[in-house]
């Protein structure tokens, strides 16, 4: 078992290094760090001096190693806009994005699984048909459109919820949270729904189809023929068997949530790293883009790793296949 974990870990690290490489190449070769720091009026001598100072004349692999080393220490260089260190705004805005992502994920998972199981068990009911039809719309609507429409209905017309920003936040050490204030919580609602709606629809459809598939299997019919109650069958036999694909997709969707947060943060002017990134793209602020890529890549790889390992923990068949590969 440990061997499997170790192997997965190794693969993850390799992928990370590759992502770091891309990030490094972007950082170093796209755009011109010297020019943006010194402006176009700098003399040749000044440029040469800065190049030396920044280590731009060292061999490539040294620069790469240096890049990775500094990244591990949260030093991502300086932003082109204002020449401040990139790490600072990223760290400051991280809590906002993470809280949003977490809330959306929980929303999507809970409602998605419940709706999926319900529609699988109660075929043909009115609620089932309603859920299925609206899910189609949920999948078709682009995220930004959902957000804008929600704002229109709930902020402009009904005036129930705020249309932008995070509301009041409370600082807990380095972290700032919106969970502890009522305005903070209210501000979370619309963005979370916007961000989570697509995932929720996906999870619902997946849960439903997996449930339908599982319910047809003999290992469900057999306990039923042997007298077990429906409830017992659903909980102990059906549910665990749908967990595998549901967990996989959910885990992989988490990464997607973090990426789509960019859009949601823009719609709601939510002060997170997504908004930071899109502004960086707009103003061609390379260090920020490169840092974001590194961070997001890191998050994705970690998530994939956890999902992989969870998978192995749940399904005994996979463990044996893995171990057999060793032999």
Which residues contact another protein by CB under 8 A?
Answer: 15, 18-19, 26, 30-31, 136-137, 139-145, 148-149, 151-152, 156, 163, 217-219, 221-229, 232, 236-237, 240-241, 252, 255-256, 259-260, 262-263, 266-267, 277-278, 280-282, 284, 286, 289, 293, 296-297, 300-301, 304, 314-317, 320
State the burial class of residue 234 (Cβ atoms within 10 Å of its Cβ: 0-12, 13-18, 19+): middle
Least distance to another protein, CB of residue 25, Å: 9
CB of 125 to another protein, least distance (A): 13
Q: How far is the CB of 87 from another protein (least distance, A)?
A: 19
Q: With respect to another protein, which residue has the nearer C-beta, 40 or 171?
A: 40
Nearest approach in angstroms of CB 243 to another protein is: 9
Are 27 and 287 in contact by the 8 Å Cβ rule? The answer is yes
Pick from 274, 316, 304: which is nearest to 1 by CA? 316
Nearest-5° Cα angle at 96, 300 to 164:
125
User: Among residues 169 and 206, whose Cβ is nearest to another protein?
Assistant: 206
Residue 49 or 189 with smaller CB distance to another protein = 189
Which token pair is 68? 């990775």
Helices (runs of H) and strands (runs of E) counted in the chain: 14, 2
Least gap, CB of 169 to another protein (angstroms): 24
State the Cα–Cα distance between residues 190 and 52, nearest whole angstrom: 50
Rounded CA separation 222/238 (Å): 12
- Tokens 């996989």 -> residue: 248
Bridge partners (DSSP) listed for residue 6: none
Give whichever of 169 and 258 is closer to another protein, judged by the CB atom: 258
> What gap in Å lies between CA 148 and CA 153, rounded to an integer?
9
For 73-181, where are the alpha helices, taking DSSP H only? 87-121, 126-140, 143-150
Q: Answer whether 93's CB lies under 8 Å from 276's CB.
A: yes
Give min distance, CB of 160 to another protein, in A: 15
Tell how far CA 42 is from the center of its chain.
42
Instruction: Tell me the closest approach of the beta carbon of residue 273 to another protein, in angstroms.
Output: 12
Considering the complex, state which of residue 169 and residue 202 has its C-beta at the smaller distance from another protein: 202
Taking the least distance from each CB to another protein, the nearer of 175 and 236 is 236
For another protein, which is the closer residue by CB, 101 or 151? Answer: 151
């Amino acid at each position: 078992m440990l061997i499997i974990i170790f192997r997965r870990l190794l693969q993850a690290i390799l992928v990370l290094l590759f992502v770091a490489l891309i990030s490094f190449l972007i950082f170093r070769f796209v755009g011109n760090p010297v020019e943006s720091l010194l402006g176009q009026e700098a003399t040749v001598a000044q440029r040469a001096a800065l190049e030396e100072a920044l280590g731009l004349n060292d061999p490539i692999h040294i620069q790469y190693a240096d890049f990775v080393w500094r990244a591990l220490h949260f030093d991502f260089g300086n932003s082109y806009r204002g020449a401040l260190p990139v790490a600072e705004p990223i760290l400051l805005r991280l809590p906002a994005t993470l809280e949003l992502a977490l809330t959306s994920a929980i929303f999507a998972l809970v409602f998605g699984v419940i709706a999926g199981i319900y529609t699988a068990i109660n075929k043909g009911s009115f609620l089932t048909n309603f859920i299925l039809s609206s899910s189609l719309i949920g999948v078709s609507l682009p995220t930004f459109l959902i957000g804008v429409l929600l704002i229109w209905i709930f902020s402009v017309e009904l005036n129930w919820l705020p249309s932008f920003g995070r509301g009041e936040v409370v600082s807990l050490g380095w972290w700032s949270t919106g969970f502890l204030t009522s305005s903070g919580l209210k501000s979370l609602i619309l963005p979370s729904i916007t961000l989570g709606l697509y995932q929720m629809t996906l999870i619902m459809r997946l849960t439903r189809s997996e449930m339908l598939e599982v319910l047809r299997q003999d290992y469900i019919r057999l306990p039923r023929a042997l007298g077990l109650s429906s409830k017992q069958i659903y909980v102990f036999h059906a549910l665990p068997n749908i967990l595998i694909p549901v967990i996989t997709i959910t885990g992989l969707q988490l990464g997607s949530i973090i990426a789509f947060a960019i859009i949601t943060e823009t719609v709601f002017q939510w002060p997170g790293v997504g908004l930071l990134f899109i502004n960086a793209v707009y103003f061609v602020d390379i260090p920020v883009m490169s840092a974001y890529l590194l961070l997001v890549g890191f998050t994705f790889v970690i998530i994939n790793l956890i999902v992989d390992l969870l998978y192995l923990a749940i399904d005994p068949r996979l463990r044996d296949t893995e171990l057999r590969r060793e032999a």
